[in-house]
Amino acid sequence: MTSSSSTLRVALPVPLPQLFDYAPPPGPVPDPGMTGQRVRVPFGSRELVGVVAGIGQVEDPGSLRAAIEWIDTTPLLTGELWRSLQWLARYTHAPLGEVISTGLPGPLRRGEAVPDTHQWGWQLTDAGHDPQPKLRNGTRPQRLAECLAEGVVNEDRLDTLMDDWRSAARSLAKRGLVERIALAHSPAVASPAGGPAPNAEQADAIAAITAADGFAAYLLDGVTGSGKTEVYLQAIVACLARGKQALVLVPEIGLTPQTLSRFRNRLGIPVHVLHSGLNDNERARVWAAAARGEAQVIVGTRSAVFTPLPNAGLIVIDEEHDGSYKQQDGIRYHARDFALVRAKALDVAVVLGSATPSLESLHNAHAGRYTHLRLKQRAGAARPPVVRVLDVRKRPLRDGLSPEVLAGITQHLQAGHQVLVFKNRRGYAPVLLCHDCGWTAPCQRCDAPMTVHAGGRRLQCHHCGARQSAPLACPDCGSLALQPQGIGTERLEEHLVEAFPEFPVIRIDRGTTGKRDALETQLALLGDRAGILVGTQILAKGHDLPKLTLVVVVGIDEGLFSADFRASEKLAQQLIQVAGRAGRAVDAGEVWLQTHHPGHPLLETLVNGGYHAFADAELQQREAAGFPPFAHLALLRAEAQQVEHANAMLSAVRALIPDDAAVERYGPMPAPMPRRAGYQRTQLLLSSPARRPLHGVLDQVTPQISALPQARRVRWSLDVDPMDL
Ligand code: ADP
Ligand code: ZN
Ligand code: ZN
């Protein structure tokens, strides 16, 4: 107990940089140094849930508002996770309260109790046992009583034994014949099922990872289908055998039911899953089970990186190059980078796996910070696909498809195989064009054309979501000659359905896979039949399609000439990943790239030298140009109704930076899309060859930003290590 002038320094989920002082609520004051408990406090006219981040002393406690009540009697956030969240707040230069709120599941954020993770079971009461009550034969209550005759049965098991046992249980409970009891938690003992015997490369990788004693980072750099997942599984088995927890991060679209059942079957214990399709209560239960050490294997998407791991043994990041690991709004954290920080703090091994590692990770491997593990061959019988570049200059294209491509598709279908047609553009066409005057349909609120949907009848903005029906005549010249220009997945689908009426054509993009597992359902529809899949990069990973032997890439040329310095890397990754879908089983695969730029250096390097040749060349260019990973960036963005307000704010921030700081500043300048959803957007880019001076400047400048008068009229954000410039 400390003197009555102790104050609580509370982190609150508000966009202000500081902690807030409150007098402790009634009840015992915690020891100084004890932090991490939630507390309910008044804030303006609201009540907020905050987390105590420190205990302070004030001279004049009378001026402080008092907290309302303790929510936790013992800290909710402790140990490594609590320290790592504090690190993340410092690194992203974001308010600690907002970082905590990003990291906690909804119910905990809102001040609810940590949920119960007991297993529940049902048993017969004494009255239910003896004398045997009369229950009509064959009815649900009778069948349930029979199930329970031998003893307690847990609810998960009942779910597998009969449908709707709950109503039967309720009716028996009303008659005093059965009761529900909490079962003691006993950690499941893994009984791993044997997988394929690892090949030599896999065996080396597994041996290296399982030999780690404490923190060690591995880049598992293996071509598509080389058996990376097998390596993860074996490393997890070894981790479980040491009695430790494993966390596996996967990209949003990689977390398929197929992946999960593979994990469950092979590990032989419950696998706890965290993804965006779960409701808040489910998330909170997984969080609680992990915090209590009950969840031994947790597989999840980006935000699963915030899972408490009191007994950690291993962290795996699958497809580490994937863009979905970077949160693009709110707290702009990178789950891969944060996972590395956590692994270090937890002193455990971390495995980054990919067929197309990010240039950052390759650079770290080259510098010796990660152990570079290579799997150069496909596992089992599968061979690498043969890649062909199709020069379509001067060739007739019908809805974007050349005659050669159509003939190739016919051949593969007739052999009973499946074909994937990849186009990274959903909708019918990217632009609606007036053939007479050149007008194109713009979004009213963005600097971008509307995408044509529904065969030309609807327009939709992919940036702000605006929708409208397509005009019947050109608003500028009145002409009726409005034509969808360019190719999207819908248009390809339309053409392929017409060209191959006897085969199923299934389109898969964000327009068709709104619901979780819709992808699964659609792929199941195709099964092993010969047929065509048309889609965007959603199709580039996740699923094993053994019958798929031809991948056609239609029109990648937009990506070859983008201004974004990461565009080449993203394009190369996408091409290799989608090409990797072909020939994953016994039948050999082919990949055809249709392009108007067959001599483009990116394509030449990629096709002749593979991803590593591309990556080496690209790293050299980045070094020469002073771009990441050879520079560290931070991007401040401002949005306002009027561009002057956005610029004034960024100029004021720029003026806060000391002249002698070893940091380059670029801007204020227009953002890549200067107007979006009705807002004018500008940016200020800070760059430094080393991390320390950049963070030194941010440490000094960010706390002052919200106090700038110019900041009041704008929405602003700070992105440390931005992915999109
Ligand atoms: P990746 O994760 O690198 O894409 P997977 O682990 O999914 O590769 O393996 C690709 C396919 O090869 C899977 O069907 C898997 O069961 C199989 N496989 C993996 N390792 C072996 C092996 N050592 N021997 C035979 N088949 C294997
Ligand atoms: Zn016109
Ligand atoms: Zn728009």
Between the CA of 451 and the centroid of ligand 3 the distance, in Å, is: 10
User: How does residue 521 score in pLDDT terms, banded at 50, 70 and 90?
Assistant: confident
Nearest to 695 by CA among 725, 657, 724: 657
| Per-residue pLDDT, 253 | 74
3-state secondary structure 100-114: HHHHCCHHHHCCCCC
Out of 201, 220, 223, 229, mutate this one to test ligand 1's pocket (max ligand atoms within 8 Å of CB): namely 229
Between the CA of 472 and the centroid of ligand 2 the distance, in Å, is: 11
| Per-residue pLDDT, 517 | 65
Q: Which atom of ligand 1 is nearest to the CA of 229?
A: 6
Calpha distance 490→400 (Å, rounded): 12
Query: Which residues are part of a known binding site?
Result: 434, 437, 443, 446, 461, 464, 474, 477
| Per-residue pLDDT, 383 | 78
CB distance 203 to ligand 1 below 6 Å: no
CB distance 196 to ligand 1 below 6 Å: yes
Each as own residue / partner, the long-range contacts of residues 560-563 (CB below 8 Å, 24 or more positions apart, any chain) are 560/597, 560/600, 560/602, 560/603, 563/672
Query: Is the Cβ–Cβ distance between 431 and 441 less than 8 Å?
Result: yes
pLDDT exceeds cutoff 60 at 4: no
Nearest to 32 by CA among 50, 64, 56: 56
Query: Is the Cβ–Cβ distance between 55 and 33 less than 8 Å?
Result: yes
Between the CA of 228 and the centroid of ligand 1 the distance, in Å, is: 7
Average pLDDT, the chain: 89
Strand order in the sheet with 679-688: 664-676, 679-688, 632-640, 715-720
Percent of the chain with pLDDT over 70: 95
pLDDT exceeds cutoff 80 at 163: no
**Alpha carbon of residue 15 to chain centroid:** 24
The residue nearest atom 5 of ligand 1, judged by CA position, is 227
C-alpha R_g of the chain: 29
Query: Is the Cβ–Cβ distance between 582 and 548 less than 8 Å?
Result: yes
Task: Compute the Cα dihedral for 100, 101, 104, 110 and give only its sign.
Answer: positive
CB distance 224 to ligand 1 below 6 Å: yes
pLDDT tens track for 12-24: 999 988 999 999 9
pLDDT tens track for 119-140: 778 888 888 876 566 788 888 8
3-state secondary structure 200-214: HHHHHHHHHHHCCCC
Between the CA of 435 and the centroid of ligand 2 the distance, in Å, is: 7
Between the CA of 675 and the centroid of ligand 3 the distance, in Å, is: 9
Rounded mean pLDDT of 587-614? 87
Q: Which atom of ligand 1 is nearest to the CA of 230?
A: 6
The residue nearest atom 6 of ligand 1, judged by CA position, is 227
User: How does residue 184 score in pLDDT terms, banded at 50, 70 and 90?
Assistant: low
User: How does residue 3 score in pLDDT terms, banded at 50, 70 and 90?
Assistant: very low
Between the CA of 495 and the centroid of ligand 2 the distance, in Å, is: 27
CB distance 374 to ligand 1 below 6 Å: no
CB distance 228 to ligand 1 below 6 Å: yes
SS3 42: strand
Closest ligand relative to 447 C-alpha: 3
pLDDT tens track for 367-419: 999 999 999 988 877 777 888 888 888 888 888 888 889 999 999 999 999 99
User: How does residue 1 score in pLDDT terms, banded at 50, 70 and 90?
Assistant: very low
In this prediction, does ipTM exceed 0.95?
yes
Rounded mean pLDDT of 280-287? 92
pLDDT exceeds cutoff 50 at 542: yes
| Residue 682 per-residue DSSP state | E
User: How does residue 541 score in pLDDT terms, banded at 50, 70 and 90?
Assistant: low
CB distance 254 to ligand 1 below 6 Å: no
pLDDT tens track for 204-242: 999 999 999 999 999 999 998 899 999 999 999 999 999
| Residue 252 per-residue DSSP state | G
